Amino acid sequence: MSLSMYDASIPVFVRMLGNLSAILEKAVVHAETKNIDPAIFVNARLAPDMYPLAKQIQIATDIVKGGAARLAGVDVPSYADNEATFADLQARIAKTVAFLQSINAEQINGSEGKSVTLTLRGKDINFIGQPYLLDFVLPNLYFHVTITYAILRHNGVDIGKMDYLGNK
């Protein structure tokens, strides 16, 4: 059985965003238990030249909503990037999951050879559908979810590999 573009995208995106949401829930509990201002986590970075946790989540959600929309041939939803709390970030994740779940298999399947162009840092980058998904969207999603995990773990939140991978 072959793996469809839909199966390699939407369910994976939704699962990883669900895992990300669960990790954030543990961070909230940790902050409450240890009497830590949650803003410390939301603004935390692994290194001074890296984006803070909030931006990591913004990018993770942007990459999957953009990837799904481009492959499905629909408009990419625009978000304000103004999340400042765990509740804001959870709402962004939920809004992204709802968008992803609005995309059906018929919209994504067959996009393997589709031309995809996006502008990054003022430069157009051209992809073909399958390499766009496998070589750009998925690695970016995993990177930004991993960095979010690492920021929280570095700051003492009790999370482990199974939190990252999820329960399924």
Q: How far apart are the first and last CA of the chain?
A: 21
pTM of the model: 0.95
The 3-state DSSP class for residue 9 equals coil
Residue 167 to residue 131: CA distance in whole angstroms: 28
Instruction: Quote the CA–CA distance of 56 and 52 in Å, as a whole number.
Output: 6
The per-residue pLDDT for range 103-134, each reduced to its tens digit, is 999 999 999 999 999 988 999 999 999 999 99
Amino acid type, 159: I
Tens digit of each residue's pLDDT (9 = 90 or more) over 61-76: 999 999 999 999 999 9
3-state secondary structure of 72: helix
Looking at domain 10-109+124-165, its CATH superfamily turns out to be dinb family like domain (1.20.120.450)
Annotated domain spans of the chain: 10-109+124-165
Spatial contact of 153 and 159, defined as CB atoms under 8 Å apart: yes
